[in-house]
Chain A
Amino acid sequence: MYDVVIIGAGVSGAAAARELSKRRLSICVVEREEDVCCGTTKANSAIVHAGFDAQTGTLMAKLNVRGAALMGPLCEDLGVDLKNIGSLVVCTDEEGIPALQALLDRGIANGVERLEIVTGDRLRELEPNLSDDVIAALWAPTASIVNPFQLNWALAENAYQNGVEFRFNTEVTGLERVDGSWKVSTTAGDLSARCVVNAAGVYADVFHNMACEDKFEIVPRRGQYFVLDTTAGRHVRHTVFQQPTKLGKGVLVSPTTAGNLLVGPTAEDIGDKEGTDTTAEGLAELLAKSPLSVKNIPFRETITSFSGLRAHRAEHDFLIAEAPDAPGFVDCAAIESPGLSASPAIGEMVAGIVDGILGAEMRDDFIAKREGIPNVEWATQEEWAALIEQDPSYGRVICRCRKVTEAQIVAAIHHPLGARSLDGIKRRTEACMGRCQAGFCTPKIMEILDRELADLGYDQVTKAGPGSELIVGKDKELEGGDAR
């Protein structure tokens, strides 16, 4: 019997797990995929929003502002890349000015600091590549960009260090209230828990509806993005948002913490909870809309495109509460944008609700810090040389595009909750994320995975868990023999 079972190892589930691990509780996170960060958390704008966007009084507004305030110290503690670059909401005609002013007023009401409307030369100085049509912008200096993969992993890893158990490749198939606790049926056996946290992203409705009479629905809202090479990463300095126009909600252009340029997202309500495919129409929309705010985007430098699904609910607010008709069942649902920004505050709130149910006491041996994997790509030569002193395999570059070394890949495998797949390595180290898109480093990383993981052979290495094997067999002359 666990005190708490958390469904989902995305950023919400991981943030809740970490907060709860400050208490004397037995906690287990169950995750359908092979790794943390496999759903919405891995495919979004990677923004820490300032907090002016959400309607005042909503949970979204409250948790966004609180989450953004917590994010800096949290990323410091957990070794997560965060850059406070600020954001701009740009306006291209006089008619848009009142709406910009309204955003500013809402921001102030939500508790966002240092908001300002900027125009003219000063705006161009802030952001030289704005489209010539831009006449004004709401500048939010407190907005940041964050590495969502690192954040998710770091939260989970730190929770693990503090005793939280993680079960991967484990899909919840049933929830039943039995004798005052929850029976959680999974594809890998039954669990029981005094309390269940439903942090299942686009599937949160499925689990809620298993446990509760009062149903709701999550409608996945797809967002498609382009990722441009680091050579284009300085095309803008801020996260540049567009005001909604008659063409609909705008798209953003932003640097990422990894130095790329991100252009997106679309916003399409789709029925399919697995619909993470890109479409010709969606990508064309990005090409058409992005120049409204930023000029001369070097799309020739595009290295990939992707889709993510926002866990959208018609009410358009987070749902974080103990379900009225299901004692001990805590929803952490409808976490759409600004969910990543709010995640530290979401963790706090979930833990607070669980406190109200279980009344656990705080522990005094909580480990609050964790160290990330050193990055050599942006390191000075002195820093890099010092790392090689410590471990010579920092001198062997595996991913040439992002300068990721063998030591980093080995660390990604052997850290707690380490990587077991190519995508796992990618999210933890940025290997495969460069301009060749894993062309050169795939065989080398497969070799390292094979070497470092006793239970994984070269031909069993996957892109992203079971079913995504990279190899289907041996060459003809090697069939039946040992290839290596």
Chain B
Amino acid sequence: MKAAYDIVAVGGGPAGLAAAISARDAGCGSILVIERDRELGGILNQCIHNGFGLITFDEELTGPEYAARFEEQALSGGIDFMLDTMVIDVSADKLVTVVSRAEGLVQIQAKAVVLAMGCRERPRGALNIPGFRPAGIYSAGTAQRLVNIEGFMPGREVVILGSGDIGLIMARRMTLEGAHVACVAELMPYSGGLKRNIVQCLDDFGIPLLLSHTVVRIEGQKRVEAVVIAEVDGRGKPIPGTEVTYPCDTLLLSVGLIPENELSLSAGVELSPVTRGPVVNEILETNIPGIFAAGNVLHVHDLVDYVSQEAAVAGRNAAAFVAGNLDDEVGEIPLVATDGIRYTVPQSIDPSRMADELVVRFRVGNVYENRYISVYFDDERVKHLKRSILAPGEMEQVKLKKAELAAKPGLKTITFKLEEA
């Protein structure tokens, strides 16, 4: 079976929905959203805590509520959906192959594709934690699904490794469900999660956060019986003699998220080794013309509001690409991230194609106090923004105006760096 659409969004989570809505609102009349789950909304469906939508709706919504707002807009017409459908291949010429129970194997020719597959959690194996491999080791997201969707408790006595946001959220969730969370151990000297989550999910429940600590051993043949936690030195190596055994039946892992880009690779999309997401330009287009990316597949976000904003940009540009409304290219100016800034998204800007105001998002590589985020157009510093605190767990953003770049013809490089006060 074969079908054709102007725009196919791969993924019906917040990114895919926002991209589809904005593409439709920009005038595209042929849009398909493909979702592997039975429902739209993606991972938001299991995020039943509140705190979503503060920026978009100026309200504190739960994940499903936030998703519902976008679903409502998306379902109001002009967008087709395939649910319970897995995309198994995206080709460079935008032939999208899907399988589903209902339709079998179907090929869909798209004029533009928005990659919106989200991300996955890093598993235990990626950390080389020694010990046995019993039941009771879950990624925080899996535990979240079991508790919030299935209604079952994966454990009663819990240790959490990694202070990513899902781990912090699950520390609170497990506690509320009657489990005892002994501690959250974090390898780094700082948390990978949002400050507000540390306060609301750990501090408010008296759950200790052990910075510069890691799990050095998992005990238990059949089911987790204990984990051994040790302090680590400045290089992340466990310090002998600091081991403490925590009897527990469950170890939850919240040790990082990885953009899920296997389909992008099959299409020949170039990935950044830093973000592990596609390298994109000012319109969030990858190295393959007409293939766009947004949301956690592009780079891991902290707040869904920014996912929605970013995806709306991708969707709008995909619609312009299909309509042939993109301005002519004049040349990409690379964005360079250095001196404490790990990456930027986008990685390059063509001033002729950029929006009047373009948001550059990035993360820093360490915790910094009282620094300036500086932006240089070649050797000239054009922005110097004071920040009292910067942390890897909190994405930063700087807005660049089209007019600013237009005033600099011949600009070669835009550099983002941190500078001391």
**Does A106 interact with chain B (Cβ within 8 Å)?**
no
Establish whether residues B132 and A276, one from each chain, have CB atoms under 8 Å apart when the complex forms: yes
Establish whether residues B126 and A303, one from each chain, have CB atoms under 8 Å apart when the complex forms: yes
Which one of B36, B89, B145, B178 lies within 8 Å of A476 (CB-CB)?
B178
Contacts A439-B120, A483-B151; is A397 near B156 (CB within 8 Å)? no
Contact with B along A443-484 (1 / 0, CB 8 A): 100100000000000110011111111111111101000011
Q: A477 CB to closest chain B CB, in angstroms? A: 8
Q: Which residue of B lies closest to A275 (CB)?
A: B132
Establish whether residues B155 and A472, one from each chain, have CB atoms under 8 Å apart when the complex forms: yes
Helix, strand, loop or mixed for chain B's interface? mixed
Establish whether residues A483 and B99, one from each chain, have CB atoms under 8 Å apart when the complex forms: no
Q: A250 CB to closest chain B CB, in angstroms? A: 20
Residues of B96-141 contacting chain A, CB below 8 A: 97, 99-105, 120-121, 123-126, 128, 130-136, 138-139, 141
Q: A345 CB to closest chain B CB, in angstroms? A: 31
Q: Which residue of B lies closest to A437 (CB)?
A: B123
Establish whether residues A467 and B222, one from each chain, have CB atoms under 8 Å apart when the complex forms: yes
Contacts A395-B100, A395-B103; is A306 near B149 (CB within 8 Å)? no
**Does B413 interact with chain A (Cβ within 8 Å)?**
no
Residues of B within 8 A of A388 (CB): 99, 104-105
Establish whether residues B124 and A304, one from each chain, have CB atoms under 8 Å apart when the complex forms: yes
Q: A260 CB to closest chain B CB, in angstroms? A: 11
**Does A369 interact with chain B (Cβ within 8 Å)?**
no
Helix, strand, loop or mixed for chain A's interface? mixed
Establish whether residues A305 and B125, one from each chain, have CB atoms under 8 Å apart when the complex forms: yes
Q: Which residue of B lies closest to A439 (CB)?
A: B139
Residues of A within 8 A of B84 (CB): 396
Contacts A283-B128, A396-B101, A463-B135; is A436 near B154 (CB within 8 Å)? no
Establish whether residues B151 and A484, one from each chain, have CB atoms under 8 Å apart when the complex forms: yes
Most chain A CB within a 10 A radius of its CB, from B105, B136, B216:
B105
Establish whether residues A475 and B151, one from each chain, have CB atoms under 8 Å apart when the complex forms: yes
Which one of B99, B121, B153 lies within 8 Å of A471 (CB-CB)?
B153
Q: A387 CB to closest chain B CB, in angstroms? A: 9
Contact with B along A359-385 (1 / 0, CB 8 A): 000000000000000000000010011
Establish whether residues B177 and A274, one from each chain, have CB atoms under 8 Å apart when the complex forms: no
Assembly CA distance A439 to B128 (angstroms): 17
Establish whether residues B156 and A472, one from each chain, have CB atoms under 8 Å apart when the complex forms: yes
Establish whether residues A277 and B124, one from each chain, have CB atoms under 8 Å apart when the complex forms: no
**Does B147 interact with chain A (Cβ within 8 Å)?**
yes
Residues of A within 8 A of B135 (CB): 462-464, 468-470
Which one of B89, B104, B142, B145 lies within 8 Å of A395 (CB-CB)?
B104
Residues of A within 8 A of B145 (CB): 443
Establish whether residues B105 and A395, one from each chain, have CB atoms under 8 Å apart when the complex forms: yes
Which one of B36, B123, B153, B217 lies within 8 Å of A473 (CB-CB)?
B153
Most chain A CB within a 10 A radius of its CB, from B136, B151, B153, B218:
B151
Residues of B within 8 A of A294 (CB): none
Establish whether residues B123 and A304, one from each chain, have CB atoms under 8 Å apart when the complex forms: yes
Establish whether residues A304 and B125, one from each chain, have CB atoms under 8 Å apart when the complex forms: yes
**Does B146 interact with chain A (Cβ within 8 Å)?**
yes
Q: Which residue of A lies closest to B123 (CB)?
A: A437
Establish whether residues A280 and B130, one from each chain, have CB atoms under 8 Å apart when the complex forms: yes
Assembly CA distance A468 to B225 (angstroms): 11
**Does A83 interact with chain B (Cβ within 8 Å)?**
no
**Does A442 interact with chain B (Cβ within 8 Å)?**
yes
Residues of B within 8 A of A459 (CB): 152
Establish whether residues A483 and B36, one from each chain, have CB atoms under 8 Å apart when the complex forms: no
Assembly CA distance A385 to B98 (angstroms): 10
Assembly CA distance A458 to B153 (angstroms): 11
Contact with B along A269-286 (1 / 0, CB 8 A): 000001011111011000
Q: A87 CB to closest chain B CB, in angstroms? A: 25
Residues of A374-414 contacting chain B, CB below 8 A: 381, 384-385, 388-389, 392-397, 400, 403, 405-406
Assembly CA distance A394 to B105 (angstroms): 10
Closest 9 CB pairs of A and B: A304-B125, A437-B123, A467-B222, A463-B135, A468-B135, A397-B86, A385-B105, A468-B222, A483-B151
Query: Which of A's residues lie within 8 Å of B, judged by CB?
Result: 226-227, 231, 274, 276-280, 282-283, 302-306, 381, 384-385, 388-389, 392-397, 400, 403, 405-406, 435-440, 442-443, 446, 458-459, 462-476, 478, 483-484
| 9 residue pairs A–B, Cβ–Cβ below 8 Å | A302-B125, A389-B104, A394-B99, A395-B102, A396-B100, A396-B101, A403-B86, A466-B222, A474-B151
List 16 extra interface pairs beyond A403-B86, A458-B150, CB under 8 A: A276-B133, A282-B130, A304-B123, A305-B130, A395-B102, A395-B104, A396-B100, A400-B36, A405-B99, A439-B120, A440-B142, A443-B142, A443-B145, A472-B156, A474-B151, A483-B152
Query: Which of B's residues lie within 8 Å of A, judged by CB?
Result: 36, 84, 86, 88-89, 97, 99-105, 120-121, 123-126, 128, 130-136, 138-139, 141-142, 145-147, 149-156, 176-178, 216-218, 221-223, 238, 249, 262, 265
